[in-house]
C-alpha cells in the first residue's frame, strides 16, 4: 500500500511533463477531404513527412460542414495544439475571429491572408504556375482550343484560370480557351461525375487539352479526358501518375512544403505573409516519367525560358485577385 | 444552336438522365405497391460503392454489378422489414437508410482502400464501357439521321440500353400482367386484395425486390460507367431528383421516362452553358439545377394537373384492427 502514493506521485509528475511537452501541431483539412488527391492531400503529405522525420505526432481534423470550422478551430486551440495549420481560404473569416482569443497559439492559413499578430498567411502565386502549364497546353493542342474546368466559382480559382489563359495566349494568340466552373457551393470540390460531363462537353466543343483546378472534381475530369483520348492537366498535387501518358503535366502547388515548414517551425512560427512563388519553389509544372513522352524538347525550352522571365520580372503574369479582372479573354 | 451542339447536349442528357430513370422506375414499383421510398438515394449509394469496390477487386464489371444489386437488395429488405413486417413509419425508415448508406460506404471504403472512403480508379476491364451499335460507323455519313444514330443512340454503356428497355417492361408488367394488377391494387386498397386471398405482405416484398434491383443498376451505372470509381456521396441527391421525377410523372412509366430525361436535359444544359441568354433576360445555371424541385412543388401544389399518389401509400397494412 505504501507504494501507492509513490506511484500516484510518479504518474502525476509524468502527466505534468507530458502536459508541458504536449504542444502537438494540428492541421485542419477543408471540405474537399484529406484524400482529394489534390490540395488537401498535399497538405497531409507535408504533415506526414514532418512526422516521419521528427518522430513526433500531429493531430488532424477533417471538417464535414461549414458550421464545424469555428468549432474545430476553437477546440484545437483550447486543447493546446500549437501551431494550428488550416488549408483553404474559407477559414479566413473564422480565423480572424478565433486568433485574437488565443494570442499564445500560432496559426497558419494556406491560400488567404489573415492580418493577425499570431497568424502566418501562406499564399501561392498560382497564376505563375498556371501560366507555364497554359503554355504547355497551347503547344500540345492540335485544335487550337483548350479547356479549363474550375471547382467552386471564387476569385482564387479565377486566378488559376487567368494565369492559364495568359500562358495559352502567349504561345498562340488565336487559341480559344473554354472555361467552365463546377458550381458555386463547396460541394463543387467533390463532384467527379459533373467534372466528367463538363470535360465531355468541352471535348465536343473541340478542346483537346483540359486543365482541371477543381480538387476532387478533377478526378472525373482527368478520367473523362483519358477516356476521350485527349490530354489533361492536373493541379495542386502531382497527378501525372493517375493516367500515365494522358496527363500532360500537373500544376503542383507545394502545399506539402508549406505545411512541413509550419510544423518544423513549431511554436516559433513567424507571423506574417509568406509568398510561395516560382522562385521559392511554391508552384511548378510537374515533370516525371509518366509525362516524359508528352513533353517535347520545345515545350521544355519554352517553359524554362518563361520561368526565367517570370523570375527576373521580364514576363509579368497578371494576378486576377488584385483587381478581379483578367487582361485576356 | 448548331446541330452538333444539340446532339452533344442530348447525348449528355441520356448519360445524366439514365441513373434518374432507373431510380425513378425503382421508386415507381415501390410506391405503386403502397410503400413510400425516400431511401432511393441510400440504395443507389450502397450499390455504387459495392459495384466499384467489387469491380476493382475482381476486375470484372459484371461481378461488380451483381454485388451492387445485392447490396441494394439488402437495404431494400431492411426497408421492407421495418415498414411492412414491423409496420414502422416508411419515411423514417427511408431517412434511416439514407443516413446508414452515407456513413457505411465511407467507413467500409476507408477500411478497405484507405482513400478517404473512395475506391481507386477502375481500369477499363472493370467498367461498363461504351458499346458501338452495329452499322453506327457506316451510317455516320448519312446526314442528320446517320449522325443521330452514330452519336446519340450508339455509343452508350449497356446499362443505358437496359434502363431504356426497363420502361416498356415496367409498363407491360404493371398494366398487362396479373402481378401488375395486384401490385397496383395493393397500393390503392390492400384490404380488397387481402379479401381476394392474395398476400399483401408478399406483394409488397415482391415490389421492394424489384426496387432493389433497379436501384442497384442505377448505382452501378454511376460508379462503373459514368465515373470510374466511387467517391463519397457520389449520388449527390440524384435519388431525391428521381423522387421528384416520379411525382412529376404521376407514378406512370412512360411519363417517368419523359420526366427523367427532361431533368437530365436541364442538368446537361446547365453544364453546357453557365448562363442562358434568352434575349430579355439571363438565366443562371443554378436556376436550371433548382428547376426540378421548383417544378415538383408546382405540380404538388396542384397548379398543373393534379398528382394523386397511390391511396394506400405510406400506411402499413394491418389485417385486423
Pair A231, A208: CB distance under 8 Å: yes
Per-residue confidence (pLDDT) for residue A15, from 0 to 100: 45
Residue B158: CB atoms within 10 Å: 16
pLDDT of residue B321: 60
pLDDT at position B74 is 97
Range from A35-39, A322-326, B103-107 carrying the lowest mean pLDDT: A35-39
A28-37, B254-263, B267-276: range with lowest mean pLDDT: B267-276
User: Per-residue confidence at B1, pLDDT binned at 50, 70, 90?
Assistant: low
Nearest CA to B11 among B152, B211, B216? Answer: B152
Cross-chain residue pair B8–A201, CB shorter than 8 Å: yes
Distance CA B161, CA A64 (A): 37
pLDDT at residue number A17: 42
B234–A181 CB contact, under 8 Å: no
Average pLDDT for A91-114: 93
What is the pLDDT at residue A3?
Answer: 54
pLDDT greater than 60 at residue B89: yes
Contact B310, B187 (CB under 8 A): yes
Nearest to B116 among A34, A201, A227 (CB): A34
DSSP character string of B270-311: HHH-SEEE-SS-EEEHHHHHHHHHHHHHHHHTTSSS-----T
In terms of pLDDT, which residue wins out, A17 or B12?
A: B12
Determine whether the interchain pair A190/B4 forms a contact, defined as Cβ–Cβ distance below 8 Å.
no
For residue B142, is pLDDT > 90? Answer: no
What pLDDT, on the 0 to 100 scale, is given for residue B303? 66
Q: Which of B222, B232, B274 sits opposite A193 (nearest CB)?
A: B222
What does the pLDDT read at residue B166? 96
Tell how far CA B35 is from the center of its chain. Answer: 16
Identify the pLDDT of residue A20: 41
Q: Please judge whether B271 and A194 are an interchain contact, meaning their C-beta atoms are less than 8 angstroms apart.
A: yes
Mean pLDDT value of segment B250-255: 94
Provide the 10 A C-beta neighbour count for residue B137: 12
Average pLDDT over residues B222-244: 88
- What is the separation of C-alpha A185 from the centre of its chain, rounded to a whole number of angstroms? 18
Using the beta-carbon criterion (under 8 Å), do B116 and A36 form an inter-chain contact?
A: yes
Confidence band, pLDDT 50/70/90 cuts, at residue A188: confident
For A216, the closest of B16, B231, B274 (CB atoms) is: B231
Q: Give the closest of B4, B12, B116 to A35, CB-based.
A: B116
A198 has pLDDT over 90: yes
Mean pLDDT of A194-222: 92
Q: Provide the CA A211 distance to its chain's centre, in angstroms.
A: 15
Binary contact (B228, A223; C-beta < 8 A): yes
Q: What is the mean pLDDT of residues A169-186?
A: 91
What mean pLDDT do residues A155-175 have?
Answer: 95
Judged against a pLDDT cut of 60, whether residue A6 lies above it is answered with no
Full DSSP string of A259-305: HHHHHHHGGGPPPEEEEE-TTTTSEEE---TTTTTTS-HHHHHHHHH
For residue B16, give the nearest of A36, A187, A197 by CB distance: A197
Q: Which residues of A touch B8 (CB under 8 A)?
A: 200-201, 204-205
Size of interface A-B (CB pairs under 8 A): 58
CB of A191 less than 8 A from some CB of B: yes
What pLDDT, on the 0 to 100 scale, is given for residue A21? 45
Query: Hey, are the CB atoms on A193 and B115 less than 8 Å from each other?
Result: no
Cα of A204 to nearest chain B Cα, Å = 7
Chosen for mutation from B8, B123, B227, B268 (greatest number of chain A CBs closer than 10 Å) is: B227
Which residues of A fall within a CB distance of 8 Å from B272? 201
Instruction: Among A193, A197, A223, select the one facing B234 at the smallest CB separation.
Output: A193
Match 497554359 to its residue by C-alpha cell.
A134
CA distance A83 to A317: 33
Burial of A19: CB neighbours in 10 Å, binned 0-12, 13-18, 19+:
exposed
Exposed (0-12), middle (13-18) or buried (19+): which is B173, by Cβ within 10 Å? middle
Nearest CB to A201: which of B232, B234, B272?
Answer: B272
pLDDT digits (tens, 9 = 90+) for A164-173: 999 999 999 9
pLDDT band at A102 (very low <50, low <70, confident <90, very high): very high
For residue A14, what pLDDT is reported?
Answer: 46
Q: Which residue has the higher pLDDT, A292 or B277?
A: A292
- pLDDT of the residue at A13: 47
Sign of CA dihedral A321, A326, B1, B4: negative
Sign of CA dihedral A149, A155, A159, A162: positive
Facing A200 at nearest CB: one of B12, B222, B234? B12
Judge whether A48 is closer than 8 Å to chain B, CB to CB.
no
CB B20 within 8 A of CB B263: yes
Find the mean pLDDT for residues B105-132: 86
| Across A126-131, average pLDDT | 95
Q: If you average pLDDT over residues B226-232, what whole number do you get?
A: 86
- Give first-to-last CA distance, chain B, whole Å: 63
Query: How far is it, in rounded angstroms, from Cα B206 to Cα B189?
Result: 17
Inform me whether the pLDDT recorded for A237 exceeds 90: no
**What chain B residue is nearest to A204 in terms of C-alpha separation?**
B8
Q: Taking CA atoms, what residue in A is nearest to B272? A: A201
Map grid coordinates 410506391 to a residue: B31
Q: Give the residue carrying C-alpha cell 488532424.
A: A60
pLDDT score for A18: 43
Q: What string of DSSP letters covers B109-144?
A: HHHHH-STTPPPPPPGGGS--EEPPTTHHHHTTSTT
User: How many CA atoms lie within 13 Å of A187's alpha carbon, on the beta-carbon side?
Assistant: 10
pLDDT at B127 over 80: yes
At residue B200, does pLDDT exceed 50? yes
Instruction: Tell me the pLDDT tens digit for each residue of A267-316.
Output: 888 899 999 999 888 999 999 999 999 999 999 999 999 999 999 989 99
Beta pairing class for B275-277 and A145-152? unpaired
Do B54 and B47 meet the contact criterion of CB atoms below 8 Å apart?
A: no
Q: Report how far apart, in Å, the C-alpha atoms of A282 and of each of A151, A253, A285, B46 are.
A: 21, 6, 11, 40
pLDDT for residue A19 is more than 50 = no
Interface check for B118 against chain A (CB to CB < 8 A): the answer is yes
Q: Tell whether B152 lies on the interface with A, counting CB pairs under 8 A.
A: no
Residue B152 has pLDDT above 60, yes or no: yes
pLDDT above 50 (res A5)? yes
From A203's Cα to the closest Cα of chain B, the distance in A is 10
Could you give phi then psi for residue A40, rounded to 5 degrees?
-70, -35
The answer to whether A209 touches A226, Cβ cutoff 8 Å, is: no
pLDDT at A1 over 50: no
B57 touches chain A (CB under 8 A): no
Chain A, 226-255: which have a CB under 8 Å from a chain B CB? 227, 242
CA B259/CA A76 separation, integer angstroms = 49
B228: cell is 470510374
Asked if residue B262 lies in contact with residue B249, where contact means CB atoms within 8 angstroms, the answer is no
Does A197 sit within 8 Å of B15, measured CB to CB? yes
SS3 A186: helix
Residue B235 or B206, more confident: B206
Helix axes B200-221, B178-188, angle to 10 degrees: 100
Query: Would the CB atoms of B271 and A197 count as touching at under 8 Å?
Result: yes
pLDDT at site A120: 94
Q: From B12, which residue of chain A is nearest by alpha-carbon distance?
A: A197
Distance CA A229, CA A56 (A): 45
**Cell triple for residue B188?**
390503392
Q: What is the mean pLDDT of residues B29-33?
A: 95
Q: How does DSSP assign A84-133, residue by residue?
A: EEEESGGGHHHHHHHGGG-TTS-EEEESS----TTEEEEEE-HHHHHHHH
Query: CB–CB of A171/A298 below 8 Å?
Result: no
Using the predicted structure, report yes or no on whether residue A92 has a pLDDT greater than 70. Answer: yes
Q: What does the mean pLDDT of chain B come to?
A: 89
More confident residue, B17 or B281: B17
For residue B261, pLDDT over 60 is answered with yes
**Residue B160 clears pLDDT 70, i.e. is over it:** yes
Q: Quick one: what percent of chain B has pLDDT higher than 90?
A: 60
Question: Which B-chain residues 15-54 have CB contacts (< 8 A) with chain A?
Answer: 15-16
pLDDT of residue A297: 94
Per DSSP, A56 falls in state -
Domains of chain A: 23-125+257-276 (3.40.50.2300), 127-252+284-323 (3.40.50.2300)
What does pLDDT average to over chain A?
Answer: 88
Amino acid at each position: 500500500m505504501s507504494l501507492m502514493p509513490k506511484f500516484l506521485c510518479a504518474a502525476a509528475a509524468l502527466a505534468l511533463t507530458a502536459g508541458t511537452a504536449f504542444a502537438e501541431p494540428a492541421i485542419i483539412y477543408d471540405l474537399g477531404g484529406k484524400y482529394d488527391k489534390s490540395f488537401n492531400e498535399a497538405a497531409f503529405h507535408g504533415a506526414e513527412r514532418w512526422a516521419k522525420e521528427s518522430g513526433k505526432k500531429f493531430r488532424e481534423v477533417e471538417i464535414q460542414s461549414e458550421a464545424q470550422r469555428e468549432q474545430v478551430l476553437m477546440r484545437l486551440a483550447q486543447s493546446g495544439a500549437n501551431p494550428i495549420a488550416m488549408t483553404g481560404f474559407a477559414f479566413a473569416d473564422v480565423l480572424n475571429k478565433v486568433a485574437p482569443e488565443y494570442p499564445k497559439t500560432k496559426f497558419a492559413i494556406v491560400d488567404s491572408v489573415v492580418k493577425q499578430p499570431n497568424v502566418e498567411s501562406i499564399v501561392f502565386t498560382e497564376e505563375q504556375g498556371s501560366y507555364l502549364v497554359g503554355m504547355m497546353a497551347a503547344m500540345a493542342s492540335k485544335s487550337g482550343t483548350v479547356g479549363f474546368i474550375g471547382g467552386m466559382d471564387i476569385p482564387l480559382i479565377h486566378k488559376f484560370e487567368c494565369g492559364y489563359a495568359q500562358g495559352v495566349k502567349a504561345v498562340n494568340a488565336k487559341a480559344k480557351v473554354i472555361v467552365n466552373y463546377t458550381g458555386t457551393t463547396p460541394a463543387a470540390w467533390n463532384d467527379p461525375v459533373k467534372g466528367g460531363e463538363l470535360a465531355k462537353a468541352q471535348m465536343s466543343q473541340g478542346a483537346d487539352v483540359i486543365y482541371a483546378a477543381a480538387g476532387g472534381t478533377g478526378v472525373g475530369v482527368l478520367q473523362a479526358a483519358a477516356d476521350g483520348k485527349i490530354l489533361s492537366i492536373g493541379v495542386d498535387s502531382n497527378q501525372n501518375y493517375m493516367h500515365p501518358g494522358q496527363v500532360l503535366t500537373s500544376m503542383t502547388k507545394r502545399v506539402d512544403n508549406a505545411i512541413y515548414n509550419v510544423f518544423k517551425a513549431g511554436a516559433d512560427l513567424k507571423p506574417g505573409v509568406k509568398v510561395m512563388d516560382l522562385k521559392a519553389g511554391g508552384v511548378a509544372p510537374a515533370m516525371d516519367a509518366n509525362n516524359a513522352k508528352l513533353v517535347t524538347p520545345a515545350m521544355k525550352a519554352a517553359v524554362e525560358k518563361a520561368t526565367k522571365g517570370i523570375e527576373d520580372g521580364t514576363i509579368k503574369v497578371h494576378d486576377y485577385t488584385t483587381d478581379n479582372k483578367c487582361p485576356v479573354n | 444552336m448548331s446541330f452538333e451542339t444539340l446532339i452533344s447536349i442530348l447525348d449528355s442528357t441520356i448519360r445524366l438522365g439514365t441513373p434518374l430513370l432507373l431510380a425513378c422506375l425503382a421508386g415507381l414499383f415501390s410506391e405503386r405497391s403502397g410503400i413510400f421510398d425516400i431511401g432511393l438515394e441510400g440504395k443507389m449509394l450502397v450499390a455504387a460503392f459495392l459495384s466499384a469496390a467489387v469491380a476493382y477487386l475482381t476486375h470484372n464489371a459484371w461481378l461488380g454489378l451483381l454485388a451492387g444489386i445485392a447490396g441494394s437488395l439488402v437495404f431494400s429488405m431492411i426497408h421492407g422489414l421495418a415498414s411492412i413486417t414491423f409496420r414502422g413509419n416508411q419515411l423514417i425508415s427511408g431517412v434511416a437508410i439514407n443516413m446508414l448508406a452515407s456513413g457505411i460506404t465511407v467507413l467500409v471504403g476507408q477500411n478497405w482502400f484507405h482513400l478517404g472512403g473512395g475506391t481507386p480508379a477502375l481500369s477499363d476491364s472493370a467498367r461498363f464501357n461504351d458499346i458501338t451499335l452495329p452499322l453506327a460507323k457506316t451510317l455516320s455519313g448519312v446526314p442528320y439521321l446517320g449522325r443521330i444514330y452514330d452519336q446519340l443512340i450508339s455509343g452508350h454503356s449497356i446499362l443505358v440500353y437496359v434502363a431504356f428497355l426497363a420502361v416498356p417492361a415496367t409498363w407491360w408488367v404493371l398494366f398487362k400482367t396479373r402481378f401488375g394488377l395486384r401490385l397496383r391494387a395493393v397500393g390503392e386498397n390492400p384490404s380488397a386484395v387481402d379479401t381476394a386471398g392474395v398476400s399483401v405482405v408478399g406483394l409488397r416484398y415482391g415490389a421492394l425486390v424489384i426496387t432493389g434491383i433497379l436501384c442497384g443498376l442505377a448505382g452501378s451505372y454511376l460508379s462503373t460507367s459514368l465515373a470510374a470509381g466511387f467517391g463519397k456521396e457520389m449520388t449527390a441527391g440524384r435519388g431525391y431528383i428521381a423522387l421528384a421525377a416520379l411525382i412529376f410523372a404521376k407514378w406512370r412509366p412512360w411519363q417517368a421516362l419523359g420526366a427523367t430525361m427532361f431533368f437530365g436535359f436541364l442538368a446537361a444544359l446547365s453544364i453546357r452553358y453557365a448562363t442562358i441568354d434568352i434575349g430579355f433576360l439571363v438565366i443562371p445555371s443554378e436556376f436550371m439545377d433548382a428547376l426540378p424541385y421548383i417544378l415538383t412543388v408546382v405540380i404538388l401544389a396542384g397548379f398543373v394537373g393534379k398528382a394523386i399518389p397511390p391511396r394506400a401509400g405510406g400506411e402499413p397494412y394491418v389485417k385486423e384492427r
